[in-house]
Structure formats: structure tokens, C-alpha cells
Structure 1
Amino acid sequence: DQGVAADLECPNHQLLDDFLANPPEENYSLIALDGITNPQNLGMIIRSVTASPCHGILLPKQGTAAISPLVIKASAGTLFKSTLIHCDSLEQALTQLTKQGATCCTLSSHSKQSLSELQVATPIIYVLGNETEGVSKKVSNLCTAQVRIPMSNGVESLNVAVTAALLAFRHQL
């Protein structure tokens, strides 16, 4: 059993500085991941965002699942077509993005404002938190907007990959 090695180039994967130098359009939208450690969730998020009009995923090196065969499988191969924006630290990235006029938004079941009521005329970054802990306090403090997805029948939360899909397709539905 010799195994196989491959070196792949993903042209839509970029560093944050490159994205900031050439954003895709004036009012772009991104999904930022804070502590998403489950590789299957990461893969499903990549698949949904790649299929949507959302402009990409902000993926920090710290505290996020590494790109692995499991992530590739869960993404159904869309990882190679996805727009991933790599950054060292989510806190630093959000600080840079907000300095350039972006709005950072977290989701909370306790928010008074529902997602459908959110109106922004700036680029928007939806920040999704860890499957257990949610968005970290440091990251949450950088966000100026907070919304909820209304739910029925006593359901308190959705899987992070499902939430990412709803956000990624928000403006198309």
C-alpha cells in the first residue's frame, strides 16, 4: 500500500489582506467561523456557502477544524471551488473588516431583532460560534449587530451548518 499524494491549488482561497485589497463588491457578505471544531460541520458550511450568493467564509487558523479529508468529504468536493478567506485571528480580522466599514453580526436566541428585520447598507459579516459554547466573548464584543432566527415548537437552536446555510441564502430567498 503506497498511498497517493497530491498538491492542489484552490484559486479562490486567499489571505485576508488580499481580500481587503480587492473585495468582490461594495456590499459583500461573509460567514465568519468562531471555534467551529467539528470537521463535518465545517464541510457542510463550505458546501452551503459555496452554493449560495454569499461571498465567502472567513476561516481563522486558531480554534477551527483543519481542512482534512473529512472536511472535503462533508463539503461534497465543493471545498475546491469555495472562497475561503484565511486569517490568523478572527478578532484581528473582524477589527480590520469593521475599520473598512463592514458590520459584524452575531446570532442569539435572546436578541430582540429577528434576522428578517436586519437592514444594513454595508458589507456584513455573520459570525457563527462553536457548536457548544457559541460565539466567544472577545468576538461578540466586536460585533455591533445581533439577530435571532425565530423558531417554533420549543426548539432552542439549529445546527451551525444549517444556520450558515440560512444566512448564506438570506438575500436570495
Structure 2
Amino acid sequence: MKDSATYQKKKRFFESMITLYGRNAVEEVLDDPTVEIHALHLAESNKQEGVIERITAKARARGVEIRYHAKAALSRISRNAKQDQGVALDIIAPTYRSAETLLETPMVQGRLLALDGIHNPQNLGMIIRSAAAGNIDGILLPKQGSAKLSPLVMKASAGTLFKLPVYYCETLPEILGTLQIQGWSIFGLSSHADATLHTLTVPEKTVFVLGNESEGVSEGVAARCNAQVAIPMQRGVESLNVAVTAALLAFLPAGER
């Protein structure tokens, strides 16, 4: 049992690790003392001058381990050879958590956003920003078919990436089904729904599901929803950008929680 608990703790530690890349993004994070850093990775081919020199000095000042790699090995770490610029940074994000932790410690009340097929990193970053600013307690983000947390997401979130829990899971249907068993109400956003946000009484434990703009909520996820709701729109407008929709949900009055 002890070995199993140790393994799970270690597993979650590494799963909460996010690798960012790119010189500007890495330097920005090194300047933020609130972010825990695991290791800095540098390509051996980098010239020790300018921004690389600053990054190295800042990492040493913070006591961060610096690892040097061949360019090909560095690209495998960053998973973005075209944009890593020979720099990657492993950070520990306590707000990036397994959805299992949400199930193990059930909320008495809360409001979550579940993202189904959101591929655009700018949209993901803006959704995180609105959710962090509004009445949202966390985001469900599947590993499959979704944008990854990246420098583009960090930039679009305008510094809010680590202010709100992001619960990762393999796929949404399974986790949504378990949340239903725990008493959560699941609402899919759909322009074809009869019920609207204006008429909806928001339960104490609610998950709003957002699909991508071209296809909406997928069939498998829609099957897990208790109901579909729409945002009433005027002048023949059919849909909104998904990040705008998330902002409207984030700022539903707290009194309705």
C-alpha cells in the first residue's frame, strides 16, 4: 500500500508538470517567483549571449537545475522543434491537476467549464482568463483532442494560467458520467436548444460544456448532458466565439450559484 501511494504521489507530481518553450516565455516565467520550476533545458548549440545569457543567470539565481542537450533531444522535450528556440522549462503547476482529485474530494457546490474539442490555444487562454476572473471554480480539459497548455495559451491567458484549477482527463464522457453520479448537473451549450441561460436555474453543482465552433458538442459528450441550453441572440446571429461564450457563463451572477 505504501509503495502504491508513493507511486501515485510521484505520478501526479510529474503529471502536474508543464513544459513551456521559447525564449521570451521562459524568461517571463523565470521572472515570476510564484511559479515553481523543476528544470531548465537548453540546447548545447545556443550561443551564451543576450537572452540566453539572461535566462541562464536567472535560473542560477533561483537555484534551478540547468540541463544541456543536443538540439534534437531538446526538441523532443519541448515537442515543438520549430518554435522552442533551443529553450524549454519544466514548471510545477499546482493548479494543473488530475480530474481524479476532483472526484476524490467532491465539492459541496461549484461551477465548472468542460471543454470539448477546443483546439485553438488562443481560445483556450482566453477561456482560462474569463473563468479565473468570473464565477468558475475549475476547467475540465481532456488530453485527447484539445489544445495543450503552451506559451500561446499562457500569453492569451494574460497571466491567469496558474490562477484557476485545470483538471485534465483522458476523455470527457467518462469523467462527466462520474460527476453526474456525484450529483453534478451537466449542461451542453447548443444554439438549437429550447432552454436558454435567461430561463435556467443554475444548480449548486453545475458543469457547462463548450464545444468547438464548427461542430459544437460531440455526440459522446452530448449523451452525458442532462440538458442543452442556448444563449439567446438577435439579428440572425447564429453563434459566438467559444471564448465569448465562456465569458458569458463565467459572469452569470454569483447569486444564482
User: Quick check: TM above 0.5?
Assistant: yes
Please list, as runs of the form range in 1=range in 2, the aligned pairs for 1:80-99 lying within 5 A after superposition.
Answer: 80-99=162-181
Residue 43, structure 1, aligned to residue 155, structure 2: no
CA distance in 2: counterparts of 1:109 and 1:131, whole angstroms: 11
| Residue 59 of structure 1: aligned partner | 141
Higher CA-based Rg: 2
- Seq. identity, %: 54
Q: What is the DSSP-based 3-state SS (H/G/I as helix, E as strand, rest coil) of the residue aligned with 2:198?
A: helix
CA root-mean-square deviation: 1.5
How far apart are 1:120 and its partner, in Å? Answer: 4.0
TM-score relative to the length of structure 1: 0.93
Residue 105, structure 1, aligned to residue 187, structure 2: yes
Whether the 8 Å CA contact 1:10–1:81 is kept in 2: the answer is no
Q: What is the DSSP-based 3-state SS (H/G/I as helix, E as strand, rest coil) of the residue aligned with 1:117?
A: coil
Higher relative contact order (CA 8 A, sep 6+): 1
Cα 1:121–1:80 shift into 2, 3 Å: closer
CA distance in 1: counterparts of 2:202 and 2:147, whole angstroms: 30
Gaps of 5+ in 2: 1-45, 47-51, 53-85
Gaps of 5+ in 1: none
TM-score relative to the length of structure 2: 0.64
Whether the 8 Å CA contact 2:197–2:230 is kept in 1: the answer is yes
How far apart are 1:56 and its partner, in Å? Answer: 0.8
Q: What is the DSSP-based 3-state SS (H/G/I as helix, E as strand, rest coil) of the residue aligned with 2:124?
A: helix
- Name the structure with the higher helix share: 2
Residue 117, structure 1, aligned to residue 199, structure 2: yes
- Name the structure with the higher strand share: 2
How far apart are 1:117 and its partner, in Å? Answer: 1.2
Q: What is the DSSP-based 3-state SS (H/G/I as helix, E as strand, rest coil) of the residue aligned with 1:170?
A: coil
Q: What is the DSSP-based 3-state SS (H/G/I as helix, E as strand, rest coil) of the residue aligned with 2:238?
A: coil
Number of residue pairs matched? 172
After superposing on structure 2, the runs of 4+ consecutive aligned residues of structure 1 that deviate more than 3 Å are 1-5
Aligned letter for 1:12?
Answer: T
Whether the 8 Å CA contact 2:187–2:228 is kept in 1: the answer is yes
CA distance in 1: counterparts of 2:203 and 2:153, whole angstroms: 33
Note the alpha carbon deviations across 1:120-152, whole angstroms, 9 max, x for none.
434110000012111001110110111111111
